Amino acid sequence: MGNHRWFARTLPPLLRPGESALELGAGTGELGRRLAARGAAVDGLDRVPRPTAWPAARAWHVSDLRTFDGYARYGAVLANLILHHLSDGELAALGATLNRTARLVLASEPKRSPRVQRLFALVSPLFRANHVTRHDAHVSIAAGFRADELPRTLGLHPSDWDCRCTQTVLGAYRLVAVRRP
């Protein structure tokens, strides 16, 4: 889907000098390491321990994103293929926190589309996706987003946030939300 390239292009010009970003559901740390290599200050948040290759200068928080109490330390929040796992209520609660603390929200999630599901089913054998990957992709795409659903569910009101939602032919749904001055 090109998510890492998109974050690497999109985040650096939007970060203010001295501002740190927090990656939600950072997992293996691949995205954060890539962004750090480009000079972006990105800390990780996940329920799993800090990856061994995580940059020593960057923080890693072992916590559930729904109960993390350190959002106020971050002006920017990144979400890569994690928000579609949350319920509408959990997204609303996260959004209430972000409305109090964040200045910038970047998210790349699955685009909800039967066409994308069919496309993935057709191409997945080409890269030898196993049955678990094929099933997970089908479910994730079904749980994805369209139009302005994500900023609406997060409660990022247009009077307070400039939100741009785009969708790619490869099945990505992308949100760039910048708090209005």
pLDDT at 139: 76
Q: Cα–Cα distance between 37 and 35 in angstroms, integer? A: 5
Q: Would you state the structure tokens that stand for residue 138, as one six-digit string?
A: 């089908």
pLDDT class of 112 with cuts at 50, 70, 90: confident
pLDDT at 121: 74
| Residue that has been written with the tokens 């928080």 in this structure | 61
Q: pLDDT over 70 for what percent of the chain?
A: 99
Choose between 132 and 86: higher pLDDT: 86
Distances 174 to 45, 158, 170 between C-alpha atoms, Å: 20, 17, 12
Mean pLDDT of the chain: 92
Residues 58, 42 contacting (CB under 8 angstroms): yes
Q: Cα–Cα distance between 54 and 178 in angstroms, integer? A: 27
| Residue that has been written with the tokens 């049955």 in this structure | 131
Choose between 134 and 159: higher pLDDT: 159
CATH class of 3-112+145-179: alpha beta
Span 69-88, pLDDT tens digits:
999 999 999 999 999 999 99
Instruction: Domain ranges for the chain, please list them.
Output: 3-112+145-179
Q: Would you state the structure tokens that stand for residue 68, as one six-digit string?
A: 């993390």
Residue 38 phi/psi, 5-degree rounding, is: -95, 10
DSSP 107: E
Residues 133, 103 contacting (CB under 8 angstroms): no
Query: How close are the terminal C-alpha atoms of the chain, in Å?
Result: 32
Instruction: Please state the rounded mean pLDDT for residues 96-124.
Output: 88
Choose between 38 and 162: higher pLDDT: 162
Choose between 154 and 1: higher pLDDT: 154
CA-CA-CA-CA torsion sign (67, 172, 75, 27): positive
Span 19-70, pLDDT tens digits:
999 999 999 999 999 999 888 999 999 999 999 999 999 999 999 999 999 9
